[in-house]
C-alpha cells in the first residue's frame, strides 16, 4: 500500500497540471500544490501533526 504522503504529492501534482501551462507561474503553482499535497499526506500518515502546529501558533504572546 502506498503511503498517504506519496499519494498527497501525486494528487497535488495532478491538480497542478490544471494550471501548469503558464510558464514560470505554472511551475510555481505546481510547486505550491505539490507542497500542500505532501504536507496534507504527511499529516494523515502521522508524520506531522498539523493540529499541534495550528493550535500552538495561537498561544504565542
| Residue tagged 494523515 (cell numbers) | 44
At 37, list the grid cell.
499535497
| Phi, psi (rounded to 5 degrees) for 19 | -120, 10
The pTM of the full predicted model, rounded to 2 decimals, is: 0.59
> What pLDDT is recorded for position 59?
58
Per-residue pLDDT tens listing for the chain (61 residues): 467 888 878 877 877 776 667 677 777 777 788 889 889 888 888 888 888 888 876 555 5
Copy the grid coordinates of residue 7.
Answer: 499519494
Amino acid at each position: 500500500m502506498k503511503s498517504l504522503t506519496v499519494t498527497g504529492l501525486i494528487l497535488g501534482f495532478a491538480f497542478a497540471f490544471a494550471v501548469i501551462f503558464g510558464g514560470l507561474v505554472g511551475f510555481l503553482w505546481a510547486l505550491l500544490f505539490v507542497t500542500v499535497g505532501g504536507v496534507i499526506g504527511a499529516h494523515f500518515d502521522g508524520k506531522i501533526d498539523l493540529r499541534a502546529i495550528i493550535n500552538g501558533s495561537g498561544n504565542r504572546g
